[in-house]
Structure 1
Amino acid sequence: MSDELANARRQLGQISSLAKQDKAMPAAQALQSALGIVLRQPLMKAERMEFSEMIANAVVAIANMPRVRKHYALALTYEPGQGKALYEQLVGLQEVLQQAEMEDAQARMREVEERKRNALNKAADELARGQVVAGKATLAMLVREYPVDFILRGRAGEILLKAGLYEEAVEYLTAAIDGQPDMLFLYSAAGIALRKLGKFDIAESYFLRGSQYLRNEPNLYFNIGRLYIDWQKWDKAIMAAKAALQLKPDFEEARKMLDYAEKQKEKLV
């Protein structure tokens, strides 16, 4: 027996095990590959009989798999001498299974995203009701479950920021930024949390990193101005307020900030 036929025998021998695991796609691929070898090879009578029996058994095993019965409407059958027809049918079967796998993967992704949303909402609700320990625990459990989802970690940080838990917010937000630096919306949140903690120099570094990419975002300049107000750096607060107003002339809060910073500067003269 040639090496190719030995490979076909091996592939056909795997199908029973794959069928027991409901691994429909690998089973169909193995049968198609083995069948292709058999169709290409000149076989002696005994070999034809042996492979016909093995192929027929493989077809029965695949046809009875739950995944195949669920997604493939046609009857998968085989008779000796009908190898080419079976080969074409296996091509169609794999297309159906591939589509089903894509749909299943999308459904699993939707389920995961829904679970994340529900957990974030649960934590936000717990914190809003003053259940700080429970809310923090919900977020901690969530990020442990999805350790490389830095967007999720950033959202958790924003929830903590909103709840006034600034130290915890900084921990989550900065970790998220370190893991995925292109999440520009987090730079401002990290800066706000650091400002609330009085860590003005570190807050400034995050705001300025964000401003490199968000030059047309008036709210970022307003938040930078708030930092400089707290830091009592009036010239920089004036510049930030003017930048916000240049982008958004009707930005009333920025207008008030500008007036306040200019009055404070005048007191120093």
Structure 2
Amino acid sequence: MSTELIKARSALAGINTLLKQQKVLPAVLALHDALGLIIRTPLMKSERADFERSLENAVFRLNGDANLRKIYPILLQYTPGEEAALQGMLRELLNELQESAVQDAKKMLAEQERRKQEGFAKGRQLILEGQYDPAGQFFDKMLKYFHDDQELRVDIGELFLEAGQFDQAFTYLLESMRNNPESVHLLNRIGMGLRKLGKFEEAEQCFLQALKLSTDDERLYFNLGRVYVDRAQWDKAEQAASKAMALNPDLEQAKKMRDFAQRKRKG
């Protein structure tokens, strides 16, 4: 038996296991791929009879699967010798299953977003009530579930920042920066938050890291310049403002920063 037919036999043999594991899409895909191998490969009479029995069994298993019936109520039909017709039905079935998987994923994402917004609102209410430690404990539990959501970490940090809880704000902002050092958008947001906290060195590093990733963003140069203004580093402030203006000559705030830095440097 050829390597291709061995692959086909193995795929067919695994369909029942996949269905028991409620893996409907992989099970249908296994039958589709095995059928393709069988159609393309010349078969001896004994091999053909063996594969016809295996195909009949696979179709029977799929037709009896309750999970598949919910998605695709039409029964598969297979007659030995008409493998091409079965392959056409399987292609249609795969399209339905893939569309169903997409819709399920969208529903799951929508539910996750709903839970996140509800949790964020609850934590924000705790902060508004001055319950800062319980809010921090609540958000930490929340982040165990949304552990990859760095935007959420920044949002939480900004909540504490607005409430004047600078140490907690710094913790969330810095953690987000460490977890996602290659997101220009996040680095810019974090840098602005760190600057408000008076963490000028960390803010500078944020903006410099972002500029390594995006050298043509005038807002990054402008925000970096604000850090230098806060630190009274007038030469660097002027340079940053000038670079922002080179990218966007209409950025009036950058012009004001440059002129202010020049006056301070000369005076």
Q: Common fold, TM-score beyond 0.5?
A: yes
Matched, 1:41 2:66: no
Task: Say which SS state the counterpart of residue 130 (structure 1) adopts.
Answer: coil
8 Å Cα contact 2:59-2:78 kept in structure 1: yes
1:89, 1:125 → 2: CA distance? 54
TM-score, structure 1 normalization: 0.73
Q: 1:91 — aligned with what?
A: 91
Q: 1:135 — aligned with what?
A: 135
Deviation digits for residues 176-208 of structure 1, max 9, x if unmatched?
123324555555664565556554554555567
Q: CA deviation at 1:31?
A: 1.3
1:2, 1:199 → 2: CA distance? 67
Q: 2:103 — aligned with what?
A: 103
8 Å Cα contact 1:22-1:66 kept in structure 2: no
Q: 2:159 — aligned with what?
A: 159
Change (3 A) 1:72 1:215: same
8 Å Cα contact 1:218-1:247 kept in structure 2: no
Q: CA deviation at 1:171?
A: 1.4
2:75, 2:26 → 1: CA distance? 19
Q: CA deviation at 1:173?
A: 0.9
Q: CA deviation at 1:234?
A: 10
- Amino acid paired to 1:35: L
Change (3 A) 1:4 1:126: same
Task: Say which SS state the counterpart of residue 218 (structure 2) adopts.
Answer: coil
> Runs of 5+ in structure 1 lacking a partner?
none
Q: CA deviation at 1:222?
A: 10
Q: CA deviation at 1:24?
A: 1.5
- Amino acid paired to 2:218: R
1:17, 1:71 → 2: CA distance? 19
> Runs of 5+ in structure 2 lacking a partner?
243-248
- Residues 77-88 of structure 1 aligned to structure 2 (within 5 Å): 77-88=77-88
Q: 1:76 — aligned with what?
A: 76
Change (3 A) 1:223 1:123: farther
- Amino acid paired to 1:41: P
8 Å Cα contact 2:153-2:172 kept in structure 1: yes
Report the number of matched residues. Answer: 255
Among 218, 221, 228, the alignment partner of 1:215 is: 218
- Residues 170-189 of structure 1 aligned to structure 2 (within 5 Å): 170-181=170-181, 183-184=183-184
TM-score, structure 2 normalization: 0.73
Deviation digits for residues 16-40 of structure 1, max 9, x if unmatched?
1112122122111221222233333
- Amino acid paired to 2:45: M
Deviation digits for residues 113-136 of structure 1, max 9, x if unmatched?
222222222211111112222210
Q: CA deviation at 1:86?
A: 0.7
- Amino acid paired to 1:215: E
Change (3 A) 1:123 1:50: same
2:96, 2:51 → 1: CA distance? 26
- Amino acid paired to 1:149: D
> What percentage of aligned pairs have identical amino acids?
30
1:159, 1:208 → 2: CA distance? 25
Deviation digits for residues 52-104 of structure 1, max 9, x if unmatched?
22211211211222332122242212222322211111111111111111221
- Amino acid paired to 2:116: K
1:12, 1:188 → 2: CA distance? 53
Runs of 4+ in 1 over 6 A off after TM superposition: 207-213, 246-249
Q: 1:50 — aligned with what?
A: 50
Q: 1:7 — aligned with what?
A: 7
Task: Say which SS state the counterpart of residue 41 (structure 1) adopts.
Answer: coil
Change (3 A) 1:167 1:184: farther
Q: 1:118 — aligned with what?
A: 118
